[in-house]
Amino acid sequence: MKTETLKTKNGHALNGFSIEDIGDDHLFTSLDTPMKANAFDMPDSEKKERISILFSEIMDVLGLDLTDDSLKGTPDRVAKMYVEEIFSGLDPKNKPKVALFDNKYQYNQMLVEKDITFYSNCEHHFVPIIGKAHVAYISSGKVIGLSKLNRIVQYYAKRPQVQERLTQQIANELKTVLETEDVAVIIDAKHLCVSSRGVKDDTSATVTTYYGGVFNTPEKINELQNYINS
């Protein structure tokens, strides 16, 4: 997939192909989440209000009765969920604050945090991606709290995503925070856009990896896989 040639963002054509040609292919044009320059000018309260109005229109077009007791609160609930929960990773103010500590134990082997459960959403259909992330690093002299590894994964997962981008974003953040290239990220996830619609394959899963620094050797990859599978 030659992502560097996919330059247009107007939805009409990508690399000479129309939206219909692309179909369900999961293309992405940047390692950065596509955002407007003024994405955070609007306060969260106004975002929720506008999303609620727009989602009411979607429900109305679908023919749902918004006066029904079970449905009339749905637009507000969806708006709150979008802004405060499942897409909260879009806002930099929610980025986890990470403190570095000296590696006083002089532990110089790989540290692995495996089976980090995350929930994201496919940016092509806005349906869930459910999976587990395994992250590892070798200290360059500094360490971070274990919970921060989970929080970094959750932060980048809580936005419309493509799994390849999610993998890279987590890896880049870990490299920046830990000041080392010796970082590895493995993501194993199920995409509901594959299992619940389209091809409707409920058994397949998608695995993406990033191996940086010393992890990019057969020996370290095998060692990491042994830890994850143990």
CB 183 within 8 A of CB 197: no
Distance, in Å, from the CA atom of 68 to the CA atom of 193, rounded to the nearest integer, reads 29
Note the pTM of the prediction, 2 decimals: 0.87
pLDDT tens readout for residues 53-90:
999 999 999 999 999 999 999 999 999 999 999 999 99
Give 75's contacts (C-beta < 8 A, 6+ positions apart): 51, 52, 53, 55, 56, 59, 66
Distance, in Å, from the CA atom of 78 to the CA atom of 214, rounded to the nearest integer, reads 44
Ligand-binding annotation for 12, yes or no, is no
Residue 193 has pLDDT above 50, yes or no: yes
pLDDT confidence of residue 83: 98
Task: Report the Cα 24 to chain-centroid distance in Å.
Answer: 18
Residue 222, both tokens: 């095998």
Catalytic residues, which ones? 122-125, 163, 191, 193
Could you say which of 3.30.1130.10, 3.90.226.10, 3.40.1800.10, 1.10.260.40 is the CATH number of the domain covering 101-229? 3.30.1130.10
Task: Name the more confident of 162 and 1.
Answer: 162
Ligand-binding annotation for 26, yes or no, is no
**Reported confidence tier of residue 25, pLDDT bands at 50, 70, 90:** low
User: What angle is formed at CA 227 by the lines to CA 207 and CA 191, rounded to 5 degrees?
Assistant: 20
Residue boundaries of the structural domains of the chain? 101-229
pLDDT tens readout for residues 126-183:
999 999 999 999 999 999 999 999 999 999 999 999 999 999 999 999 999 999 999 9
CB 193 within 8 A of CB 124: yes
Residue 161, both tokens: 């995503």
Query: Residue type at 184?
Result: A
Our separate counts of H helices and E strands in the chain read: 7, 7
